[in-house]
Chains A and B, each alone.
Chain A
Amino acid sequence: MHDANTKNGLFTPGNIITAIILAVGAVITFIRFTQGIGAVTNLSDNNPWGIWIGFDLLCGVALAAGGYVTSASCYLFGMKRYHSAVRPAITTAFLGYFFVVVALHYDLGHPLRLPYPLVYSQGTTSLLFEVGLCVATYLTVLFVEWSPAALEWLGLRKIRNVVVKLTLMLTIFGVVLSTLHQSSLGALFLIAPGKLHPLWYSSFLPVFFFISSMVAGLSMVIFEGTLAHAGLHHKMDETHLKEAEGVVFGFGKAASFVLAGYFFIKTMDIAMDNDWAYLATGYGAWFLVEMFGFVALPSFLYALGVRERNMTLVRVASIFAVLGIVVNRFNVSLIAFNWNLPAADRYFPHWMEIGVSVFIVTLIITVYRFIATRMPVLYEHPEYKDAH
């Protein structure tokens, strides 16, 4: 009977799909690292950055912002009512950043040379150096912030107690490092004013990237909470379930206000650069879709959901907001990039590039599920109740 249950548990549709994706991903990984980047991508000198940068890195880093947003609100601003959301958010952020680094290997192709910019050849005038330094440091900070969950699971009480004492310092580090590199990712595109469409190009790109990362973080906490409630409800303790509503409405309200601010500063930017005429073009129409469909609409839906105390509406808004971040990063790095080039020279990802991105996302979900079903992420460990 037990064997039969285990067998049924292993061969579920979800597990089979996951196994297929992981197997295909492993084959593409082998091809990429044995036959070179040209064998699996449509990248060229005109388009050296594809979806591995546009999606895996830019979206990955933005959507992992839930870690610094949640820990800052709880530990720095004293909003202890969001405490139960901290561990899931830190776990997602840690996995997000870890797999951003994994995905970066596919682009760079020399895994053993990853530390070169830090220890061998520092390009201190390059924004990429700053991004690399920040991501490396922040990934370490996130690992330490996340480690109490693993240490409680492993029963290493003494080390766990030492690490928990570092929480406040780590949170401050996290906010400082996130402010730096989230904005620097936007600043990377400042070097290409002639390549990026004027509606998206702005000297305020670093500010836009940083502010939108806050929205991404807040929305991801709500979106991820929705998925966790659907799939891992049985792993949540009473405190987590009790605080969930407050997290959804509190973060929804903050996301609504930040989105409204983001909408207005983007409008200011159009006015300051006198880009109004571009709005009447095809790119303008797409820009308006982004601004109204993925910024103004989620902002309004969030506000309405919070006013009406409607959880479903807030959760729908979070989906639009998360999609909006993806759309914005795709626009800046791919769709509105090289907009002057003839259609034949434009970039469209190879199916194996998409395969690698799907592979990475599947790995994140698989590892998150592994962690959340074993470690005290969605519940408090019985031996450490209210001890952090």
Chain B
Amino acid sequence: MEIHTLHEFMLHTKNITYLLMGATLVGFVCYWLFLTGRDEKIRKY
């Protein structure tokens, strides 16, 4: 993709960053579940 203006640069980089951010949010939940999957459950009731 050719970039000529700051607007095009921002559009391009923000597009990718927002997609990565969405994937990261989902990925982090999965990672946390993997990390704590075998922890002993703390019952609070």
Task: Please report A residues at the B interface, Cβ cutoff 8 Å.
Answer: 253, 256-257, 260-261, 264, 267-268, 271-274, 303, 306-309
A71 to B24, CA, bound (A): 30
The size of the chain B interface, using a CB distance under 8 A, is: 19
Contacts of B24 in A (CB 8 A): 264, 268
Give chain B nearest CB distance to A203 CB in angstroms.
Answer: 13
A264 to B36, CA, bound (A): 19
Query: When A267-B20, A307-B38 are in contact, do A260 and B31 touch as well, CB less than 8 Å?
Result: yes
Contacts of A274 in B (CB 8 A): 3, 9, 12-13
- Of the candidates B16, B28, B34, B36, the one whose C-beta lies within 8 Å of that of A271 is B16
B28 engages A260 (CB within 8 Å): yes
Contacts of A257 in B (CB 8 A): 31-32, 35
Contacts of A264 in B (CB 8 A): 20, 24, 27-28
A122 to B20, CA, bound (A): 44
A271 engages B35 (CB within 8 Å): no
A256 to B3, CA, bound (A): 37
A303 to B16, CA, bound (A): 28
A303 engages B34 (CB within 8 Å): yes
- Of the candidates B13, B21, B31, the one whose C-beta lies within 8 Å of that of A273 is B13
Query: When A267-B20, A268-B17, A268-B20 are in contact, do A303 and B31 touch as well, CB less than 8 Å?
Result: yes
Please give me the 3 A-B residue pairs with the lowest Cβ-Cβ distance, nearest first. A271-B17, A271-B16, A264-B24
B37 engages A271 (CB within 8 Å): no
A307 engages B9 (CB within 8 Å): no
Q: Which of B4-41 contact A (CB under 8 A)?
A: 9, 12-14, 16-17, 20-21, 24, 27-28, 31-32, 34-38
How many inter-chain residue pairs (CB < 8 Å) link A and B? 40
Query: When A272-B13, A273-B13 are in contact, do A303 and B20 touch as well, CB less than 8 Å?
Result: no
Contacts of A306 in B (CB 8 A): 35
Give chain B nearest CB distance to A201 CB in angstroms.
Answer: 15
Main secondary structure of the interface of B (DSSP, over half): helix
A303 to B30, CA, bound (A): 12
Contacts of A303 in B (CB 8 A): 31, 34-35
A268 engages B21 (CB within 8 Å): yes
A272 to B36, CA, bound (A): 31
Contacts of B31 in A (CB 8 A): 257, 260, 303
Give chain A nearest CB distance to B15 CB in angstroms.
Answer: 9
Contacts of A268 in B (CB 8 A): 17, 20-21, 24
Give chain A nearest CB distance to B11 CB in angstroms.
Answer: 11
16 further interface pairs, Cβ-Cβ under 8 Å (given A264-B24, A267-B20, A274-B12) = A253-B35, A257-B31, A257-B35, A261-B28, A268-B20, A268-B21, A271-B13, A271-B17, A271-B20, A272-B14, A274-B13, A303-B31, A303-B34, A303-B35, A307-B35, A308-B38
A88 to B37, CA, bound (A): 30
Give chain A nearest CB distance to B41 CB in angstroms.
Answer: 15
- Of the candidates B17, B20, B21, B34, the one whose C-beta lies within 8 Å of that of A307 is B34
- Write the chain B residue with the least CB distance to A276: B16
Contacts of B35 in A (CB 8 A): 253, 256-257, 303, 306-307
- Write the chain B residue with the least CB distance to A303: B35
